[in-house]
Amino acid sequence: MKKIYITAFVLSTFFFTGCADDYLDVQQTETVSTKDIELYNNNTGAETFVTSIYNKFLNWDMTSFGWIGLSSITSDDADKGSSPGDTGTDKDVLDALTYNASNPSCESTFIANYDGINRCNQALNILPKLDKADAALRNRLAGEAKFLRAFMYFTLVKCYGGVPIVDHLPVPALEADRVMQLTRKTSAEVYAFIEADLNDAIAALPEKTAYSANEKSRVSKGAAYALLAKVSLYQKKWQQVIDNCNKVTGYSLVSDYASMYKATGKFDSESIFEIYAQGAVPAKGIEGYSNTQGARGTGGWGWGFNTPSQSLVNAYETGDVRKAATIIFRGQTLYDGRVVPNTVENERYNYKAYSSAYTDAWETDVDIKYLRYAEVILMKAEASNELGQTSAAIPLLNQIRNRAGLGNTGASSQADVRTAIWKERRVEMAFEHDRFFDLVRTGQAKAAFAIDGKTFTEGKNELFPIPSSFLSQAGGLSSQNPGY
C-alpha cells in the first residue's frame, strides 16, 4: 500500500490525542485552521488520513501482546509459554481464565480499538472538506474508513458485548456527545451499526483488481463482503452468510498452505484482508508481534509466549500439512535453514508468527491474515449445513481438507458434518485470532476447556470484562459484564 507503513501519522500532533484516563476523548478537526487543512487538500493529503487508520494496526497495543493474550492464549490452542515464573504481565491469568476487570490486556485492547475508531471518525469528518482531492478517491477512502471502523467494532463486540457506538467525531462541549462516548449499546445495536458501515463500504469500494501494485493492502469490495459474511455467521444469519460468501469473487486457495505465512506469500490469491508489515525501521512492521512469540532461551530469539498446546497438536490428523506450517517444534530446522536448538525453553512455538528476515527485530515483516478465502469456504459450508443443505456443505469442507493433504471427510449427517466443520476451522485457522471466539459462538467452550483442566464459567467467560478504568470514567452510564 502506498506509504501504509509510515512511522507516525503526520497530522497526529494536532488531530489526535488519547490517554488511558480519558481514552474516548479526541481533539477536534474543527480546531485546525483553514490553512492547515489546505496543506492536505489534495489526493495525497486525503489518503494520509486513511493511511493513519491502517497504521494503527501496526501498534503494540492494537495487534501485539495484549491482543495475542485475549484472542489466543485464552483459547485451548495455546498456552502462556515463556518461563514458569514470567507472568507476561497478565498472560498467566488469561491462560487460566481468572482475569478480572483490571486486566491490562482487556484494557489495552479496548483503548486501542477506540483509538482506531477515532481515527476513522476523523477521516470521515475531514474527507468531505478536502474539495481539491478527487471526488471518486474521497468516496473510496470513506469506504475504507467505514470498513476499518466496522472491523474494529466487530473486535469490540466479540470481546466485550455491547459497547459505546461513537459514530462521529465528538464535540467536547456537547453533553450528548459525552453521553454517546460513555454509554454502552446492546450487542444487537453494535452489530446493526457494523452491518450499516459494511454496506456503505461495499457501495464505495472497488474490487481488488482495481488497485495498483503499491495499493494491494487496501481493503476491497470482496473484503467487505467477507467481513459481512463473518458478522452474519456470529449472529447465525445463515442465509446472509451464504449470500455474502457468494459475492466474494476473484480469490482462490493457494496450493501450498505454508507459503501464506512467509514473506513471499503476502497478498497471495487467498488473501482478502491482511495487515501489511514491511519490517524494521526505516520501513514499518508490527511492533513486537514476532519477538514476543519467538523461541525463548539459549539459542532462541524471542520471549516465548503463546505456545501451541498439546490439545492443538492432537487435533491434526496424520498427514495434515498444516501442522508443520503452524507449529515450530524444538530441535527442528525451519524453512530458512535455522535450527531450533534443544536448549530453548518450550517444546513448541507459533510458526505463523515467525519472521526469517527480522528474527531479532522489534518490528516484524510478518503480516496478519485476518480474512482468507479458506474461511469464506468454511463459513459457507457451516451456514449451508445449518440450513439443512448438508450435501452442499460436504464438498466445500473437502476443498479445505484436500488442500491440506487429507482425504474427503467421512461425515455425512448434519450433526457429524457440523462437528467436522468446527474441527476444520480449528486446524485451518490456528493462531489466526479466531479460536476463542469460535468456541464461544458455537457453545463448545466449557467442554473444550475442561479437557485442559480449566473452568469456563458459562454466563461469564463468553465476554471479557469492561475495563474498570472506563466504568470509572462512565460514572454510571455503563455497567460491567456479568460475573466481574
Domains in the chain (CATH in brackets) are 1-205 (1.25.40.390), 286-366 (no CATH)
**For 453-471, what is the mean pLDDT?**
97
With 60 as the cut, is the pLDDT of residue 445 above it? yes
Q: Is residue 459 over pLDDT 60?
A: yes
The confidence band for 35, taking pLDDT boundaries of 50, 70 and 90, is low
pLDDT over 90 (residue 11): no
pLDDT higher than 80, residue 20: no
Share of the chain above pLDDT 90, in %: 90
pLDDT at 19 over 90: no
Average pLDDT for 90-109? 98
pLDDT of residue 307: 98
pLDDT tens track for 161-180? 999 999 999 998 999 999 99
> Tens digits of per-residue pLDDT, 363-387?
999 999 999 999 999 999 999 999 9
pLDDT in tens, 306-347: 999 999 999 999 999 999 999 999 999 999 999 999 999 999
pLDDT in tens, 340-363: 999 999 999 999 999 999 998 999
- Average of pLDDT values for 263-288? 95
Mean pLDDT of 173-190: 97
- For residue 280, the model assigns a pLDDT of 87
Which residue would you say has higher pLDDT here, 12 or 363?
363
pLDDT band at 402 (very low <50, low <70, confident <90, very high): very high
Those residues whose C-beta lies under 8 Å from the C-beta of residue 78, and which sit 6 or more positions away, are 72, 95, 306, 307, 308, 309, 312, 350, 431
Average pLDDT rounded to a whole number, residues 107-127: 97
* Cβ pair 313, 302 in contact under 8 A: no
Confidence (pTM): 0.94
Grouping H, G, I as helix, E, B as strand and the rest as coil, residue 149 is helix
Tens digits of residue pLDDT in 58-96: 999 999 999 999 999 999 999 999 999 999 999 999 999
Of 75, 166, 95, which Cα lies nearest the Cα of 439? 75
List, as own/partner pairs, every contact residues 144-147 make where C-beta atoms lie below 8 angstroms and the sequence separation is at least 24, other chains included: 144/50, 144/53, 144/201, 144/205, 144/218, 144/219, 145/49, 145/50, 145/53, 145/120, 146/120, 146/197, 146/198, 146/200, 146/201, 146/204, 147/197, 147/198, 147/201, 147/205, 147/219, 147/223, 147/224, 147/227
pLDDT at residue 27, rounded to an integer: 41
Residues 278-307: tens digit of each pLDDT: 998 888 999 999 999 999 999 999 999 999
- Return the pLDDT at 15: 30
Reported confidence tier of residue 7, pLDDT bands at 50, 70, 90: very low
| Confidence band, pLDDT 50/70/90 cuts, at residue 233 | very high
pLDDT tier, 10 (very low <50, low <70, confident <90, very high otherwise): very low
pLDDT at position 91 is 98
